[in-house]
Chains A and B, each alone.
Chain A
Amino acid sequence: MQTYLLKWWQTIRISWSKYTAYRLNFFLQVVGPFLVFFFIKYNLWSSIYEGSSTPVIKGYNFSDMMHYHIWTLIISLLGQGYAAMNLSEDIRLGRISSYLIYPFEFWEFHTAGFVSFQILQVFVSSITLCLAVFFGFIEFPSLSIILTGFSFTLFMGMFWFTMQYFTGLLAFWLEETWIMRVLLSIIVSFLSGYIFPLELYPEWLVGALKYSPFPYMSYFPAKIFMGQEVNLTLGYSVLTFWIAVFAYINHLIWKKGMRLYTAAGM
């Protein structure tokens, strides 16, 4: 057991050094999203509110709206940063062969990579949080809110990972998987409440989404961070269900993909 855990630990360390190998890249990763947020979301919403005759849109005044969006930004950094680029490249370039030879499985390797990425993202999102507090966009929430929010978001990150893993595995069949990923991220952005809070959507749609994973990817954790009441049990249950679904689908796809791979001999 100990030797097995050491394999994981060393893989996490290696992935960590890979992620931080390019310092400028790392710096941009920290600062970039915050700047994008400031220049696009902040300016967009301030013009919307300036042009609007009512200072409150569906219960959100300008300051609420900014709070909401700062939190969705932090949530997306913490829970939706991982991209299965390496994974699909491994498949496309036939690097799977190496993993079939090592006494450490492909999924173990990439899951360890994900864990390491998440640790990095905890730093990145914490820095963003501090920047947001420093510039006066939000106030620092209580410790219990921070803990509840971070735990839920990290759990959501696991769902995000299983979904990314799914798109990565499609590289067995598709030449390029980035179109799939962009498509997925657009759908997620809209349905999760990353672009607009879900109150702005028709009620039937919000109702329909309740048991889908989407609201729990931005809207729901944002509400936690904003100190509003949410049904945590429902949130965790829905996400657990979807994690299990995707993990099973991934298992099947991997099996089918491997048959294809070993039959085609890339």
Chain B
Amino acid sequence: MSQKVIEVINLTKQFKSYKKKPGLKGSLQSFFNRKYSIKKAVHGFNLEINKGEIIGLLGPNGAGKTTLMKMFTGIIVPTSGELTINGHSPWERKKEFKKKIALVMGQKSQLWWDIPAMDSFLLLQKFYELSNQEFKQRLDYMSELLGVVDLLHVHVRKLSLGERMKMELMASLLHNPDVIFLDEPTIGLDLVAQENIRAFILDFHKKNGTTIIITSHYMADVQALCKRLVLIFDGTKAYDGPLEKFENILGNEKTVSFTFSEEIPCCGYLDEFHGEWNEGRTSVDIRVPEENLREVGKKVLDLHPVIEFNTEKMPIERVMKTLMTNPEVLRAQRDHANLPA
């Protein structure tokens, strides 16, 4: 039986905030007569994660992903509900718990700006009570894999964003945590750096069997790393299941794009699909059910002077886009197809 690492039951977090009108008058008013409003950032959230899983936590901005991450790491205290990570209640902030987790925030640096990354690592070695041998072994492994051996002694402020992110990852993983929380680890990075980071995470996971929770707005991250997705909308769980099932949540149609060497006159076989043509009618995107892909492809190739064609690489991106602009779709789908939530 697989071992549960994270257990979340009916987790809720409310924030109390007050509105203030601009200017001195507004400040005075809000000082004497403050109107509070309660915002539910996360409510009724349930989740179970087994040891060694990599979970993609997805959702639009403000859906509650970061709030969840902060509750998981003990930074903020839940309003109600149960939460255990590796047998600990995170908000108790016990040292044994802290030594088992890591949080990497793509938008916030945890390294000290004015000193080389190596100095920060040495400090973390002491914080996490690592022996010199453990420390050296892990440092060598990670710095070589990430290709930053020569940068360890450079001041952090002089590193590029990509290089810094690699150092951030190393800093967070030196103590070999059981559970890693990655909050948008590839944000703002170029494609090569993104790929490096992904490859590193996969390698680290393979080597250590770590449980990883990752949030990202880049679907390429999710596609490359996660087998299971958890979707969060307005603080509640909207989907929890395998990646492949999520890709087909809106049906099993694939988008196929064709480009032709000449204009295709209206209205032939291709127009039956009600696809999207470009202005000169030299290229089209059509939606084809997965099982008909071969047949349709063959027919179009036979009928028209095709110079290029491809099927979409990341259906998950399309699904996410559709759901974000139209969240009701998911509710309707769920009601019909009885999808796990």
Contact = CB atoms under 8 A, between A and B. Distances in A.
A112 to B, nearest CB: 10
A103 B99 contact: yes
Contact of A264 (B15, B73, B95, B120): B15
Interface stretch (A70-78, A94-102, A142-150, A179-187): A94-102
B127 A265 contact: no
A40 interface: no
Contacts of B119: 14, 17
Q: Is the interface of A mostly helix, strand, loop or mixed?
A: helix
Contact of B98 (A9, A94, A95, A101): A101
A46 B101 CA distance: 63
A97 B16 contact: no
B126 A263 contact: no
Interface in A64-107: 94-95, 97-98, 100-104
Contact of B115 (A6, A17, A263): A17
B74 interface: yes
Given A17-B115, A102-B98, A97 B127 contact: no
- Interface size bucket, B side? 35 or more
A3 B75 CA distance: 25
Contact of A18 (B15, B66, B115): B115
Contacts of A264: 15, 17
Contacts of A18: 112, 114-115
B129 A3 contact: yes
B110 A98 contact: yes
A227 B248 CA distance: 86
A208 interface: no
Contacts of A128: none
- Interface size bucket, A side? 20 to 34
Nearest to A11: B123
B76 A103 contact: no
Residue in B91, B102, B123, B128 whose Cβ sees the most chain A Cβ within 10 Å: B123
A94 B75 CA distance: 11
Residue in A10, A103, A261 whose Cβ sees the most chain B Cβ within 10 Å: A103
B108 A10 contact: no
B77 interface: yes
Residue in B41, B108, B120 whose Cβ sees the most chain A Cβ within 10 Å: B108
A18 B108 CA distance: 19
Interface string A176-201: 00000000000000000000000000
Contacts of B66: 265
Interface string A130-156: 000000000000000000000000000
A211 B73 CA distance: 45
Nearest to A104: B127
CB-based closest 7 A-B pairs: A10-B126, A21-B114, A262-B76, A103-B98, A103-B95, A98-B110, A7-B126
